[in-house]
Structure 1
């Protein structure tokens, strides 16, 4: 049976890797250089592999060191979060859910997708919006509990990530009331005579929209492209042009007298996913999202 891992040795290794050298790590730790060096050597002996190699006057990680650093990052990141988790549990603040929101995801859809985790009123929700790849890196380091996106995680042997389908939502098409009132043609032919506001290629649904327009023989003037769906809808409401929106955004948009529902495209859908760092979900709030 292997000897248990000495986490003190691992911590000293982690600081040395972060600082790029034993002298700087010793200064940060307030310890003697010889002591830090001995702790790192003890970890290397217990693991059976060298973790550092010379790089000029500094140290660089070996391949074994890179692997050890990946785990050390996760371990000490979780350690930094432990006091807050204990405090929240002790003070009755409920479970904390850290969710990454892919920046191409419609904001009204995000609210719909997260609603199951908010039922009960004791959830502490932390949302981080960023580029999909950066969110996946944070998820792999357990800085996030889940990532919501309109696409699956790409295959990467260095990242153990799992994509869970949450559902499909057909697109509806809206137009400013003044613009829609001037068009006598029925949907979808009426789109050909209107300026359109569309998501950029940043959104997974954009190629499907382009293909649908081509199949319908529609060649409208694209008046604007937006990465942020909320900004797209805001410009549409202001009168700039017609625009698509997810079915889960339809109720809120229909309550706005400034826009009119033109029609629906049941064969043109957005698909939404939850990406996790574990195949079998343990976090109870993430389980709610999947349920």
Structure 2
């Protein structure tokens, strides 16, 4: 079957719902003989019988059930499309496909996306997480409208393919379970010496800056785990397995949600976030909201 005839598929779908060619022909305003011929042509194209007769009623075969399941999805979507196209352009849902680097904390990612979700129209968000390099490739293929990342793409890629929009920045704070945090606040940062450290395995840029700061401060921490999920690393910290870093901008949410406490902020270390688009002039309303929603450091 090189090409599926959607009209024949639609005729089959109506017959399957009505249970007989006679009822379907009335609904479609076609002669029963014509509809029967169209069904036979469709069965030939799919390579099998779609109905069997039981007590004067058409019953779907196994192949017919399979084809009907796809037809249900197809015509549900076409019906939704028809309803959407009847709306005025300003009332139609806005589709936003956004990529978010896995190294960005989930609470921060939500804050970055929030301006688009607050538009005065419905937004259908398709949000994907992953490596920045993979997301930028999807952006180049026009599978994404924007990529949110915490690392600047290579200069050649920026100038030749993408536009970079600086968003917000935040200092970094260190967190731990309450007992450990209380103990490490005294004589900070020397108190961190030989304490267990939980690292972000996605090599977030701010973590590399943090390690440099520790070296300059003559502090050597013991790396006990590398965790590539920003939520899981906080759970490990809550259970007392070590100290972890997170943006100061979300410290209240981190402490409340994961029942940890801030040890201290590290003002020398910042986390800068960017929105990457295919063009400097952004046409997508949702992407414009994101790019203009965060322009002040935190």
Same fold (TM over 0.5): yes
Going from structure 1 to structure 2, the CA distance change for 1:83 and 1:127 (only over 3 Å counts) comes to farther
Q: Distance in 2 between matches of 1:275 and 1:257?
A: 31
> Which position in structure 2 is the counterpart of 1:237?
238
Q: Which runs of 5+ in 2 are unaligned?
A: 5-77, 293-298
Going from structure 1 to structure 2, the CA distance change for 1:83 and 1:176 (only over 3 Å counts) comes to same
Give the superposition deviation at 1:178. Answer: 2.1
Give the superposition deviation at 1:269. Answer: 0.4
Whether contact under 8 Å (1:85, 1:96) holds in the other structure is: no
1:107-161 CA-to-partner distances (Å, cap 9, x unmatched) read: 1110111111111472221101122122111111111100010112222399611
Alignment of structure 1 residues 2-17 onto 2, 5 Å: none
Going from structure 1 to structure 2, the CA distance change for 1:93 and 1:208 (only over 3 Å counts) comes to same
Give the total of aligned pairs.
215
- Structure whose alpha-carbon radius of gyration is higher: 2
> Which position in structure 1 is the counterpart of 2:269?
268
Of Structure 1 and Structure 2, which has the larger fraction of its residues in helix? 2
TM-score normalised to structure 2 length: 0.65
**Are positions 1:134 and 2:134 aligned together?**
yes
SS at match of 1:156: helix
Q: Distance in 1 between matches of 2:223 and 2:204?
A: 16
> Which position in structure 1 is the counterpart of 2:98?
99
> Which position in structure 2 is the counterpart of 1:117?
116
Give the superposition deviation at 1:214. Answer: 0.3
Alignment of structure 1 residues 30-49 onto 2, 5 Å: none
Q: Which contiguous aligned blocks of 4+ residues in structure 1 show a shift greater than 3 angstroms?
A: 27-30, 82-93, 156-159, 181-184
Whether contact under 8 Å (2:238, 2:258) holds in the other structure is: no
> Which position in structure 2 is the counterpart of 1:69?
none
**Are positions 1:172 and 2:168 aligned together?**
no
Q: Which runs of 5+ in 1 are unaligned?
A: 1-26, 31-81
The worse-fitting range, judged by mean Cα deviation, of 198-207 and 268-277 is 198-207
SS at match of 1:288: helix
CA RMSD of aligned residues (A): 2.8
SS at match of 1:255: helix
